[in-house]
Amino acid sequence: MTDSLEKIAKYIVSDGKGILAADESNPTCTKRFDSIGVESTEDNRRDYRELLFSADGMEGNIGGVILYDETIRQNSSDGTKLIDIISANGALPGIKVDKGLEVINDQNETITKGLEDLDVRCKEYNEMGAKFTKWRSVINIGDSIPSYECINQNMDILAKYAKIAQNNNMVPIVEPEVLINGVHDIDRAHEVSTACLSVLFEELEKKNVLIEGCILKPSMVTPGMDSEHTSTVEKVARMTIDCLKNNVPDSLPGITFLSGGQTELEATEHLNAMNQIGGFQWKLSFSYGRALQQSALKAWQGLSSNKEAAQQAFSHRAKMNKLAALGQWNKELETK
């Protein structure tokens, strides 16, 4: 179904499909499991991911699944490789390849580690069947941050990563996450996202990264979580589209948002509003972690007897987000 970088990227976001981000590192997965009182063992992590990957709602709604190193090597309870379950349901397996954050200055700004041995790791993942990769950079907003140093270094690293992934026949998802934490208003979020995206696309072009073979995973432009200024769905949608249109080339096949602390409903509603407004060339879709999994995790509670309920919860969100990626979602559909 896929071979070239362009085809892989196009497939992932075709017909309203999006990405399931199931690449929580073990410490992050432990945090998620703690919230439902489940121990984060290798078997529990496997059972939970197997439940998601084999849910009915995968087919036709999910075009790619981002995995963590442990998961790409795991087999299901009956011995089938988890990546084969993903493929059988019409999605492409991908892999998180960054190795987390490192502080670079006394403002606690970070860069993302993992470039040194990236080429070797990419070769192995590609042989294992991975078709795409993900690398997350983190940009914090505060009174005097982000600094130019932080933006420039992170965007340079993202572009270097993207080139290495493409050299290994895998589509890079480039994720410059502008964190939602903070008291800033939506204009400040727009300003910072603009600064990041303009440097990012300069760097990608400088390093000869094939834009047609990339996917961008940005944050939506929203006020900070603790901002005193709230915003409407319409405003978030318009400010996000504006920021993207000013900085992202039309030749990019897909933009798949992270959910970054939005509720499941907010993430769906914002995506739908953008697609209803339209007027852009790229597919605008989702690459949600929490906004695809929250209800499923709650329904599961670590019990095999809750497997079906958890699968239904996940399938529902997958369907709702596909409709949002097509601009065809509405609130009434949530209760059907």
Token pair belonging to 148: 């130019």
Give the residue carrying structure tokens 């085809």. Answer: 7
Give the whole-angstrom CA distance, residue 194 versus residue 201.
11
Give the whole-angstrom CA distance, residue 305 versus residue 243.
45
Least CB distance to ligand 13P at residue 23 (A): 6
Contact status: 259 vs ligand 13P (CB under 6 A): yes
List all residues 6 or more positions away from 192 whose beta carbon is below 8 Å from its beta carbon.
139, 141, 146, 178
Taking the least distance from each CB to ligand 13P, the nearer of 21 and 38 is 21
The single residue among 13, 197, 220, 291 that binds ligand 13P, judged by CB under 6 A, is 291
- Residues classed as catalytic: 175, 217
Give the whole-angstrom CA distance, residue 298 versus residue 80.
26
Contact status: 290 vs ligand 13P (CB under 6 A): yes
| CA 193 to chain CA centroid, nearest Å | 16
**Which parts of 222-241 interact with ligand 13P (CB under 6 A)?**
none
Contact status: 174 vs ligand 13P (CB under 6 A): no
The single residue among 243, 258, 299, 320 that binds ligand 13P, judged by CB under 6 A, is 258
**Which parts of 20-59 interact with ligand 13P (CB under 6 A)?**
21, 23
Q: What is the DSSP string of 260-322?
A: TT--HHHHHHHHHHHHHH---SSEEEEEESHHHHHHHHHHHTT-GGGHHHHHHHHHHHHHHHH
Q: Which one of 105-113, 161-169, 241-249, 285-293 is the stretch in contact with ligand 13P (CB under 6 A)? A: 285-293
Contact status: 172 vs ligand 13P (CB under 6 A): no
Contact status: 260 vs ligand 13P (CB under 6 A): yes
Q: Which one of 238-246, 284-292, 298-306, 328-336 is the stretch in contact with ligand 13P (CB under 6 A)? A: 284-292
Q: How far is CA 66 from CA 9, 186, 333, in A?
A: 13, 29, 27
Contact status: 16 vs ligand 13P (CB under 6 A): no
Least CB distance to ligand 13P at residue 68 (A): 10
Angle between helices 307-325 and 264-277 (to 10 degrees): 20
Least CB distance to ligand 13P at residue 302 (A): 20
The single residue among 17, 131, 136, 188 that binds ligand 13P, judged by CB under 6 A, is 136
How are the residues of the chain apportioned to helix, strand and coil, as percentages rounded to the nearest 5?
50, 15, 35
Q: Which one of 9-17, 145-153, 197-205, 257-265 is the stretch in contact with ligand 13P (CB under 6 A)? A: 257-265
Give the whole-angstrom CA distance, residue 115 versus residue 121.
10
Contact status: 112 vs ligand 13P (CB under 6 A): no
Contact positions vs ligand 13P (CB under 6 A): 21, 23, 136, 175, 258-260, 288-291
